[in-house]
Chain A
């Protein structure tokens, strides 16, 4: 049912996501700088970067196909849709019915396919390199992510994220080993999919070690701005999925406007803590060599499967 509060929640969520995503990325970078004993450019730096990029001219290579041009828009649109589906502030979103958790994974996959194709479009070596690696990480991370979502849906008997969150909010406060395993697995998948250390270094300038950065080497101007924004949005959305599944307290249930208003500061607080935690993880880990990535993601898959099995054994 589409209720007024639902529509309000939906619009608020969408705008919030789009507006706050760069801030989250900036916050993570700032925390990293602090941990490395630097003063850092401040958490608003990504906005300045986006502003700068939008004003610049977008230069496109000679042999680029239309795919190259429309990919940034598809990326951004896909991430906005994902942000609309994930219940960050409330659970009664009209977009609920658009996609459940599995379709969400499919949406991410679609986005990944487009960026990989665009990377290969120009025909440079590094673009193809990045695309190949991205697909490898993707095909290893997806089963893990699906398993995590399955574990959560086993508890809530539905794959829709909103229903899952609603169910989790109603459950008693207890220690659920299956969710603990799934949480760790999800964190590992988050690190892999968002091109964070230990899989990929977002601040690297060494092309041979890049995964995500290598794919966007050819982009400039507004295209690059949209792609960077979409990447921030992806991190934001992933973080919100994690919060929804594992730390759902504070999310407003249907028709609760006061709850909706209270949900905002709770969300900001959770994201701040999560961002700091991400910075800590990035600082204490070292980037893995590429051939170790399958082991990393295999471990994530394993943990997720374990979580599911443990759920069957201990909690049912």
Chain B
């Protein structure tokens, strides 16, 4: 019987996977951003629990940075972006939602299998959650591929980064602080650049439909 902290971490990991699926099948942009914020919250909570149960205090800082960035700043930027771009439509997907879900399940099974040998080697209390981290990453990747509008693709990208962060926490108790700060900085700068970029696209095409951006083909 696992100690309480491990149970909580397992539960949070399961919620993370659930949120990844929920984002995959979500139709509305607003809910997508809120789910992303929720995912960030789950991530911060699980990091904090790991910090508490293993006594690694640098993880508290990590959890704080995650919270500040992914629950507060990034969703705020995204909300502002979609308000100013006026893009609250229903998301169109390339495949219909039940098919996407089935493919998602296949990817989850794949990820679990792939992560098994590594989790057996890990020395952390959270090693079994590496499979969930990989599965979330693959699901975020699937979400990026099956969307045809710009903002959901970007959210998929950010969700992928979330999953990677979780992988780092579950396999190795987090990367060194300086690296994590660098990654956070990259993500933030990336978001800002994307914000600027969206305006440029919108200015040009009057729409954020990615299909406008598929004209450059091989001749």
- Interface residues, chain A, with chain B CB atoms under 8 Å away: 172, 174-175, 177-178, 180-181, 294-295, 298-299, 301-303, 305-306, 309-310, 312-315
Does the CB pair A305–B105 fall under 8 Å?
yes
CB-based nearest A residue for B104: A302
Among B9-17, B63-71, B82-90, B150-158, the stretch that binds chain A is B9-17
Contact present for B21 and A302 (CB under 8 Å): yes
B104 x A175 contact (CB < 8 A): no
Complex alpha-carbon distance, A294 and B7, angstroms: 33
With contact pairs A312-B112, A314-B128 given, residues A299 and B7 touching in the complex (Cβ less than 8 Å): no
Q: Is the CB of B129 within 8 A of A314?
A: yes
The number of inter-chain residue pairs (CB within 8 angstroms) is 59
The A contact surface, by secondary structure, is: helix
Q: For the complex, give the distance between the alpha carbons of A175 and B171 in Å.
A: 22
* Contact partners of A310 in chain B: CB under 8 A: 14, 17, 132
- For residue B75, CB closer than 8 A to chain A, the reply is no
Give the CA-CA distance A99 to B151 in the complex, in Å: 51
Q: Which residues of chain B from 1 to 53 have any CB-CB distance to chain A below 8 Å in the complex?
A: 1-2, 7-8, 10-11, 13-15, 17-18, 21, 25
Q: List 17 extra interface pairs beyond A174-B1, A299-B25, CB under 8 A.
A: A172-B1, A174-B2, A175-B7, A175-B11, A181-B18, A298-B98, A299-B101, A302-B21, A302-B101, A309-B109, A310-B132, A313-B128, A314-B10, A314-B13, A314-B129, A314-B132, A315-B10
A171→B83 CA distance, assembly (Å)? 50
User: Complex formed: what's the CA distance from A175 to B3 in Å?
Assistant: 11
Question: A175 to B9, alpha carbons, bound, how many Å?
Answer: 10
- Can you report 15 A-B residue pairs in the complex whose CB atoms are below 8 A from each other? A172-B1, A174-B2, A177-B14, A177-B15, A180-B14, A295-B97, A298-B97, A298-B101, A306-B14, A306-B17, A306-B21, A306-B105, A309-B109, A313-B112, A314-B132
Seen from chain B, the residues whose Cβ lies within 8 Å of a Cβ on chain A are 1-2, 7-8, 10-11, 13-15, 17-18, 21, 25, 97-98, 101, 104-105, 108-109, 112, 128-129, 131-132
Return A201 CB to nearest CB of chain B, in Å: 22
Q: A302 and B105: CB pair below 8 A?
A: yes
CA distance A17 to B97 in the complex (A): 39
> How far apart are the CA atoms of A306 and B21 in the complex, in Å?
10
User: Which residues of chain B have C-beta atoms less than 8 A from A298's C-beta?
Assistant: 97-98, 101
With A172-B1, A181-B18 as known contacts, state yes or no: A313 contacts B131, CB within 8 Å: yes
- Please give, as numbers and ranges, the residues of chain A lying within 8 Å of B10 by CB-CB distance: 175, 177, 314-315
Instruction: Give A305 to B2 CA distance when docked, in angstroms.
Output: 23
B8 near A175: Cβ-Cβ < 8 Å = yes
Complex Cα distance A180/B97, Å?
A: 23
- Give the complex CA separation of A180 and B8 in angstroms: 13
- Give Cα distance in the complex from A227 to B1, angstroms: 47
A294-B98 contact given A172-B1, A309-B112, A312-B112, CB 8 Å threshold:
yes
CA distance A56 to B129 in the complex (A): 62
List, in ascending order, chain A residues with CB within 8 A of B17's CB. 306, 310
Contacting pair A306 B108 (CB below 8 A): yes
Closest to A315 in B: B10
Most A CB atoms within 10 A — which of B10, B109, B128, B131?
A: B10
Contacting residue for B14 out of A181, A305, A312, CB 8 A: A181
- In the assembled complex, the CB of A81 is this many whole angstroms from the nearest CB of chain B, namely 33
Point out which of B7, B14, B21, B109 has the most chain A C-beta atoms below 10 A from its C-beta: B14
Nearest CB of chain B from residue A78's CB, rounded to whole Å: 30
Give the CA-CA distance A197 to B97 in the complex, in Å. Answer: 21
Residue from B14, B25, B98, B104 within 8 A of A314 (CB atoms): B14
